[in-house]
Amino acid sequence: MLTRKQHELICFIDDRLKETGVSPSFEEMKEALDLKSKSGVHRLISALEERQFIRRLPNRARALEVLRMPDRPETAKKAAAKTAAPRSAPVAPPAPANDVIEIPLHGRIAAGVPIEAMEGQQMLPVPAALLGSGEHYALEVAGDSMVEAGILDGDYALVRRTDAARDGEIVVALIDENEATLKYFRREGAMIRLDPANRSYDPQRYRPDQVRVQGKLAGLLRRY
């Protein structure tokens, strides 16, 4: 037997998965069950896991799978009214959509003056809808030179790995093999010009052998 809150939670998760294919967030579960904190949601999730009603998919944020459902009140009434009818085979719940994936988070990148590109071991959960095909990584933006492009200090730039870019694309450019910057990429004669999106900053010009494109901006993630 499940407690009332456990029953409410698994029904809420199951309804959301059937409706959207995406697990609800812990904040949504907290509000739906009128709980005071997310810790209460964690306890309910753990209890449902222990009783093998749900399971968490590894390496996926917000990815829950309903393994089995308790009888809902309306289901129990229908079953009682049809005791003579043969029982149909249980229908497996739809697999949750992998709506969130984890990509490497490689330190901070300047949106102003180039800074050293730092490699990190952290992972950042990102909605899959923000990413397309290909391999991606994330960099935390430092500076304000791309504000007119809507890229703010503290944002996470989601970058698709590539070594090629067309004029006008926002790229991660590695300069002299040790400094990275986030800028508009343009060719200017025999030079490469990296343009900011802030009138307070000047374009940066380099020889082609000084600049190596490491990726193109695929999306932004902002935390409030």
The CATH number covering residue 215 comes to 2.10.109.10
Please indicate, yes or no, if residue 86 is contained in any of the structural domains: no
| Last residue in a domain, options 47, 81, 115 | 81
The active-site residue, picked from 38, 145, 200, 216, is 145
Please indicate, yes or no, if residue 167 is contained in any of the structural domains: yes
* Contact between 70 and 10 (Cβ < 8 Å): yes
**183 counts as catalytic:** yes
Backbone angle region of 32, left / alpha / beta, with phi > 0 → left and psi within -120 to 50 → alpha? alpha
Reduced to 3 states (helix: H, G, I; strand: E, B; else coil), residue 69 is coil
- Look at residues 16, 25, 29 and name the one whose alpha carbon lies nearest to residue 66: 16
**What 8-state DSSP symbol labels residue 149?**
G
CATH of the domain at 58: 1.10.10.10
Q: Which domain holds residue 43?
A: 4-81
Alpha-carbon distance of 106 to 19, in angstroms, equals 35
Please indicate, yes or no, if residue 94 is contained in any of the structural domains: no
Q: Token digits for 51? A: 């009783």
- How do the pLDDT tens digits run along the chain, 224 residues long? 678 888 888 888 888 888 777 778 878 888 888 888 777 888 888 888 888 888 877 655 557 888 888 765 544 344 334 444 444 445 444 444 446 788 888 888 876 555 445 555 688 888 877 787 888 999 999 889 999 999 999 999 999 999 999 999 999 999 988 788 999 999 999 999 999 999 999 999 999 999 999 999 999 988 76
Question: Counting Cβ atoms within 10 Å, is residue 35 exposed (0-12), middle (13-18) or buried (19+)?
Answer: middle
How many domains, in total, are found in the chain? 2
Reduced to 3 states (helix: H, G, I; strand: E, B; else coil), residue 132 is coil
Q: For residue 224, which amino acid is it?
A: Y
The active-site residue, picked from 30, 37, 46, 183, is 183
* Contact between 144 and 153 (Cβ < 8 Å): yes
Residues 175 and 106 in one domain: yes
Residues 32 and 116 in one domain: no
